[in-house]
Amino acid sequence: MLKNRQQSGLTLVELMIAMAISLIVIAGVIEIYISNKRTYNTQAALSQIQEDGRFANIFIQKNLRLGGYMGCMGNAVKFTNNVDTSQYNSELAAAAHLTLRSSLNGFGSDAVQGFNNVTILPGVLSDLGLSIGTAQGQMIANTDVIVVRSAGFCSGGNVVAPLMGDKSANIKIADASCSVGCCINQNDLVIVTNCQNADLFAVVNNASAGGASQDTLTHSSALNTSNTLSVKYGLDARVYKYQTGVWYVGNGAYGRPSLFKKSIQGNSFNSIEIVEGVENMQLLFGEDSSSNGSVNHYVTADNISNRNNIISVKVSFLVSSINTSVALEPVSIVYNGMTINNGAGADKRLRRVFNTTIALRNRLR
């Protein structure tokens, strides 16, 4: 009688077949893992780019829409600048210098001021403390710059009793705190206006609570040329915080290009990194040359015929991913008529262009 023989081992052929099958399975698993990781990295990079582009648009839109806003100030308002610019650093002095009368006027030509593909800094930008270079916060050459001047509205800025007994008396407002959007602090520049007269002055004190419904703003000669304003302001007046914002592309904290905003903070004029990954910013200005409230043409900053006719701005951002190895190969993109990220030095980042058109609300008819 024949007995069944039990397997006592594997032949070389069987082992090779088993190993081949195992390698195929492992290769499949690895391919799925790599593919999923690549998909995840791509989606994460696209989400980051989308988020950065959206934030950049939101921040600059909010500022640009207010360009030239000075409360009820108009061309007929008598304006007085009381700020002693010698008490401030040179950049802040340039931001609020009394020769910039038009920048403190809702219809002034300098309310929104652009500079196209800057390679050599014009005097205005140098005075505002910008410089081109590779250090953190320095501007990147061949990118646009825009300066926005306005007054920041705050719901607590209405003048309240007790009123000024004379032109040198302190001003009382409803609420200077940040809770109502004012954030008026010591050394800040503010504008008080009653639609007939307006004074720009520096706040000398920390706005102190004078009661349940008033804060005090002191305008002594410690930071101003005089402690006397042009008129006594009454209940028909409001106080606004003066703002100058300089938007530019510079070198970020982590060595990446970023969108920066340089603005007045107390008695200095500081740069803040707003959005990382913004490699370029290009601007086109919409001119209403026929005075009918509609844009006739869009031009670069150096081709504007009359800045008083600017009623909108087209802003274009080139935003890149933080991850340097998202794509399998370098991906080029056309931006501002030029092909970006091709040739030597090209990286594997993803890039996207974000375009938006912003109306200057104080110029619309």
Per-residue pLDDT, 236:
93
Per the listing, tokens 């990382």 go with 276
Environment class of 301 (CB within 10 Å of its CB; exposed 0-12, middle 13-18, buried 19+): buried
C-alpha span between 352 and 333 (Å, rounded): 8
pTM: 0.78
Per-residue pLDDT, 103:
35
C-alpha span between 96 and 223 (Å, rounded): 13
- DSSP codes joined into one string, 37-102: HHHHHHHHHHHHHHHHHHHHHHHHHHHHTTTT--TT--TTSEEEE-B-GGGS-HHHHHHS-TT-GG
Token pair of 190, please? 């503010």
C-alpha span between 53 and 364 (Å, rounded): 26
In degrees and rounded to multiples of 5, residue 35 shows phi and psi of: -65, -45
Taking alpha carbons only, the member of 291, 292, 280 closest to residue 355 is: 280
Per-residue pLDDT tens listing for the chain (365 residues):
566 666 666 778 878 888 888 889 888 888 888 777 878 788 888 999 999 999 999 999 999 998 877 777 655 678 788 888 777 665 555 555 433 333 333 335 667 899 999 999 988 888 788 999 999 999 999 999 999 988 888 888 999 998 999 999 999 999 888 887 788 888 888 889 998 888 989 888 887 655 555 799 999 998 899 999 999 999 999 999 888 889 999 999 999 999 999 987 655 678 999 999 999 999 999 999 888 888 999 999 999 998 888 999 999 999 999 888 888 888 899 999 999 988 888 888 999 999 999 998 877 76
Contact in structure between 156 and 176 (CB atoms under 8 Å) = yes
Per-residue pLDDT, 108:
52
C-alpha span between 278 and 364 (Å, rounded): 29
Integer Rg of the chain from CA: 29
Contact in structure between 109 and 147 (CB atoms under 8 Å) = no
Angle at 61 between CA 56 and CA 64, to 5 degrees: 125
User: What's the chain's average pLDDT?
Assistant: 85
Per-residue pLDDT, 106:
36
**How is residue 168 annotated by DSSP?**
T
Per-residue pLDDT, 206:
84
C-alpha span between 254 and 154 (Å, rounded): 35
Q: What 3-state class would DSSP assign to 15?
A: helix
Go through the chain and tell me how many residues it has. Answer: 365
